């Protein structure tokens, strides 16, 4: 919280969120910087100490891009999704599970919490299916796109999360799903976070990104929109205000709200203590999406 904010000021918000399950999607360039990553995880552990039940779903886009380039591959995105061939899938698994997830679990422990890393095949947690090929417009032409090993959530088994939360653990989830045949799929982290939030009946979903929230003009911070309804989100997509990588975030947010979650928050993870300010102060720091 900012200087001048007291626990008395935050008391109504602490009461509101007491015992609440909060899904926090962490990603973006803030997670690349060791100090920033540590600060984010420290704030999430603080949520646990304040009586909330946080669940982490992490991405790893910048780290995956860097690893791909080191291996001579060029990242390819279509409609906000990473096209994932066999080699890219191995890189995704290596980075998300071997690097990012294990580091997050270590940071949770460093800051006094108890973390457990999870991927889709742990207890059949995330059952996924291949994302179907689509026709998209590229350079003015309609083309068929096969996303490769990109998946969509078929089902979530919340039992393993409930068990961990009831015993005081902070789950850290890498967005990798599996089908019944054992095939592995790269899931969009924002979409996976939303699916998980709905499955475990979370109170809120907070998405830490590289932007301050939804803005009328992405180049001007003063155009930040602090509050949006689902209807307004659709309007901004149709007008092109929401575009590129923000589209999956907004569509996922809409799906989450329709699934019964009270609020979705999109905030800048590069801002110190953005998570605490968003949840425990009147003005917040990003964009809050609700049904009405």
Q: Which of 69-73, 104-108, 186-190, 248-252 has the lowest mean pLDDT?
A: 248-252
| pLDDT score recorded for residue 4 | 42
| pLDDT score recorded for residue 251 | 87
Rounded (5°) CA angle 20-172-101 = 160
> For residue 190, what pLDDT band results from cuts at 50, 70 and 90?
confident
Q: In the predicted model, what is the mean pLDDT of residues 269-291?
A: 92
Query: Average pLDDT of the chain?
Result: 91
- Closest C-alpha among 106, 99, 100, 101 to residue 117: 101
Q: For residue 118, list its beta bridge partners.
A: 173
Tell me the backbone φ, ψ of residue 120, rounded to 5 degrees.
-60, -30
Q: Is the pLDDT of residue 56 over 80?
A: yes
| pLDDT score recorded for residue 41 | 97
- Specify the DSSP class assigned to residue 95: I
| pLDDT score recorded for residue 3 | 40
| Strands of 84-149, DSSP E | 115-118, 126-130, 134-138, 141-145
> For residue 2, what pLDDT band results from cuts at 50, 70 and 90?
very low
Q: Is the pLDDT of residue 217 over 90?
A: no
């Amino acid at each position: 919280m900012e200087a001048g904010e007291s626990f008395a000021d935050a008391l109504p918000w602490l009461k509101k969120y007491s015992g609440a399950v909060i899904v926090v999607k962490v990603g973006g360039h803030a997670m690349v910087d060791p100090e920033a990553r540590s600060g984010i995880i420290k704030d999430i552990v603080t949520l646990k100490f304040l009586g909330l039940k946080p669940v982490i779903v992490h991405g790893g886009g910048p780290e995956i891009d860097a690893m791909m380039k080191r291996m001579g591959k060029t990242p390819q995105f279509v409609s906000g999704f990473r096209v994932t061939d066999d080699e890219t899938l191995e890189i995704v698994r290596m980075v998300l599970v071997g690097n990012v997830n294990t580091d997050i679990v270590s940071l949770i422990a460093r800051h006094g919490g108890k973390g457990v890393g999870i991927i889709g095949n742990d207890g059949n947690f995330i059952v996924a299916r291949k994302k179907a090929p689509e026709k998209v417009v590229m350079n003015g032409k309609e083309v068929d796109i096969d996303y490769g090993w990109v998946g969509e959530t078929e089902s979530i088994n919340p039992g393993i999360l409930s068990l961990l939360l009831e015993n005081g653990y902070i789950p850290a989830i890498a967005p990798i799903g599996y089908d019944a045949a054992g095939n592995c799929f790269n899931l969009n982290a924002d979409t996976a976070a939303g699916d998980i939030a709905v499955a475990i009946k979370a109170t809120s979903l907070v998405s830490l990104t590289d932007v301050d929230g939804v803005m009328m003009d992405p180049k001007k911070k003063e155009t930040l929109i602090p509050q949006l309804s689902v209807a307004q989100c659709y309007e901004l997509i149709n007008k092109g205000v929401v575009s590129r990588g923000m589209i999956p975030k907004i569509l996922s947010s809409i799906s989450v709200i329709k699934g019964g979650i009270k609020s979705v928050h999109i905030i800048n993870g590069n801002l110190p203590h953005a998570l605490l300010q968003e949840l425990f102060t009147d003005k917040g720091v990003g964009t809050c999406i609700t049904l009405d």
